[in-house]
Amino acid sequence: MKITFAESLPADLRATVLPVGEGALPDTLPATVRDGAKASRFAGKAGQLFDGFAEVDGTVQQIVLLGTGKGDASSLERAGAVLSAKYLTSGKKALGMDLSATGIDASGAAALLLGARLRAWRIDTYRTTLKDEQKPSLTEIVVTGAPAGSEAAWDDAAAVATGVEFTRELVSEPANTIYPETFVERCKARLEGSGVEITVLTVDDMARLGMGALLGVGQGSIDRPARIIAMQWKGGGDEAPVAFVGKGVTFDSGGISIKPAAGMEEMKWDMGGAGAVAGTMLALAKRKAKANVVGICGLTENMPDGNAQRPGDIVKSMSGQTIEVINTDAEGRLVLCDALTWVQQTFKPAKIVDLATLTGAILISLGKEHAGLFSNNDELSEALTAAGKSVGEKLWRFPLAPEYDKLLDSQIADMKNVGPRFGGSITAAQFLQRFIQNDTPWAHLDVAGMVWADKPGATWDKGATGYGVRLLDRFVRDTLKG
């Protein structure tokens, strides 16, 4: 979706969107529109929309009233999203939007447009039989009467939107298209020339580093070898970076502890954490964030095979700690533990935030409204929670405690990779904590309920939501002043 700003709307558009606050129907509307809006109970509530027509100077004009509610960022975003959802496949190619009489400020304008852009994203790569009337038609919104500073505010928001869209693309693509090597290729292609420095570790590199836990997961995928990608954005002088670490299991069959067939296709998005990290790095680079951030993705498949790791195998992690693999389907933590050790040794980060579609149990606890937050640090937790709240990517904190940690003790190795059935999301987090050195502020976000949607939401359609990008971007703005 292209967003442009103009002094006045091109005469041939013939469709003008007028944002209207709650109870603020303008007196200047043509009578047909005003009466029609009233008759259909349009009250300017966030997300309400009234499609009116009026004859203006001898031509019929379409006038769309778009409710913006109380005019706060989330109402404006929602309004923009409703607009896109309604007109995306309407046959209309462009819409005008007149902000002149709305009182919306520059950041409000950006929120409205961000909602419109995010909701318009979809992936049609694999559809070959779409009828013309099913194809997206709306490609442009021309804005007039925008307050001073709107273009700059939009450029900034558009950078974030680009990141969210990249994440959605990675998450939506099937596992025969996106696997560790192609995930890396797409990151390289998208980040080329952005100023982000990329380092890639191959299986040989990881073997030399002693990453037995991550490599054990990838052992059943000879033809789709594991990778780690590190993406460094140095926008903030010589401060220690913040590290974002993503679980990138490009397909999780469960391995030898194989998953049931029903719903297994969903495990193509078991790289949603890594996807969010990649999208965030793109967003930060696009908006030239004044912050030092390194994004790391641990990438592998988890497949059954003659070479695959077996339940009961013992692997040695890069940290030196040994792990008894009770269940090969608890693979995310095995990938993350080596990625976490490597990031600490290599980049000496001041803080670490990992994102992972780690447990089904988090869906049982929180459903699809909050991601789970686990942390050794209150300040970091509060900053992440606040960031999530302000962009509508909510977090809910869970406890960590030695009693939970103990549940991972193994009879034969330093730890097992699973605890008992109850508290499964917490023991998964406890496992990760065993790899955090010197109490470095660390937070783990279990995003298993958030990266994929079965129904359209505030600013997304069914499918990949892009969850995490806006949250991390906001966190960088708030805490690193970047």
Residues that bind ligand BES (CB under 6 A): 252, 270, 327, 329-332, 357, 359-361, 418, 424, 448
Active-site residue, from 86, 92, 259, 394 = 259
Residues 319-338 as x/- pattern, contact with Mn ion by CB under 5 A: ----------x-x-------
User: Please, what is the minimum distance in Å from the beta carbon of residue 315 to Zn ion?
Assistant: 17
Active-site residue, from 333, 351, 416, 474 = 333
For Zn ion (CB under 5 A), the number of binding residues is: 4
Q: Are strands 59-69 and 49-56 parallel, antiparallel or unpaired?
A: antiparallel
Where does this chain touch Zn ion (CB under 5 A) — which range of 207-215, 248-256, 360-368, 383-391? 248-256
Q: Which of 165, 270, 313, 393 binds Zn ion (CB under 5 A)?
A: 270
Residue number with CB closer to ligand BES (77 or 329): 329
Q: What phi and psi values does residue 479 have, to the nearest 5 degrees?
A: -100, -30
Question: Do residues 115 and 75 lie in contact, with contact meaning Cβ atoms separated by under 8 Å?
Answer: no
Closest CA to 213 of 228, 223, 232, 229: 228
In order of 243, 404, 479, the CA distances from 101 in angstroms are 44, 57, 35
301 near Mn ion, rule: CB under 5 A: no
Question: Do residues 405 and 434 lie in contact, with contact meaning Cβ atoms separated by under 8 Å?
Answer: yes
77 near Mn ion, rule: CB under 5 A: no
Of ligand BES, Zn ion, Mn ion, none, which one sits near residue 81, judging by CB under 5 to 8 A according to partner kind? none
**Residue 176 corresponds to which tokens in the numbers above?**
């025969």
Rounded Cα distance, 473 and 469, in Å: 6
User: Please, what is the minimum distance in Å from the beta carbon of residue 294 to ligand BES?
Assistant: 24
For Mn ion (CB under 5 A), the number of binding residues is: 3
Of ligand BES, Zn ion, Mn ion, none, which one sits near residue 405, judging by CB under 5 to 8 A according to partner kind? none
**Residue 220 corresponds to which tokens in the numbers above?**
């059943």
Residue number with CB closer to Zn ion (252 or 301): 252
Instruction: Considering only residues 224 through 263, tell me which ones interact with Mn ion, judged by CB under 5 A.
Output: 252
Residue number with CB closer to ligand BES (169 or 331): 331
Residue number with CB closer to Mn ion (241 or 423): 423
**Dihedral over alpha carbons 441, 445, 446, 451 (to 10 degrees):** -160
Residues 300-339 as x/- pattern, contact with Zn ion by CB under 5 A: --------------------------------x-------
User: Please, what is the minimum distance in Å from the beta carbon of residue 447 to Mn ion?
Assistant: 14
Residue number with CB closer to ligand BES (312 or 360): 360
**Residue 52 corresponds to which tokens in the numbers above?**
């009116």
217 near Zn ion, rule: CB under 5 A: no
The strand pairing partners of 201, in sequence order, are 228
Residue number with CB closer to ligand BES (273 or 441): 273
Instruction: Considering only residues 11 through 30, tell me which ones interact with Mn ion, judged by CB under 5 A.
Output: none
DSSP 166-183: HHHHHHHS-TTT-SHHHH
Question: Do residues 299 and 184 lie in contact, with contact meaning Cβ atoms separated by under 8 Å?
Answer: yes
Is the backbone of residue 136 left (phi > 0), alpha (psi -120 to 50) or beta?
Answer: beta
* 455: annotated active-site residue: no
Residue number with CB closer to ligand BES (329 or 338): 329
* 333: annotated active-site residue: yes
446 near Zn ion, rule: CB under 5 A: no
Q: What strands lie across the sheet with 2-6, from one edge to the other?
A: 2-6, 140-144, 94-98, 15-21, 59-69, 49-56
Among positive and negative, which fits the CA dihedral 443, 446, 451, 454? negative
**Residue 11 corresponds to which tokens in the numbers above?**
């005469």
Q: Which of 249, 339, 361, 448 binds Zn ion (CB under 5 A)?
A: 249
User: Please, what is the minimum distance in Å from the beta carbon of residue 196 to ligand BES?
Assistant: 27
Q: What phi and psi values does residue 429 have, to the nearest 5 degrees?
A: -65, -40
Element (H, E) at 5: strand 2-6
Collapse the DSSP code of 396 into the 3-class scheme (helix H, G, I; strand E, B; otherwise coil) and give the result: strand
In order of 187, 352, 449, the CA distances from 346 in angstroms are 20, 13, 31
Residue number with CB closer to ligand BES (238 or 454): 454
Active site positions, annotated: 259, 333
Residues that bind Zn ion (CB under 5 A): 249, 252, 270, 332
Residues that bind Mn ion (CB under 5 A): 252, 329, 331
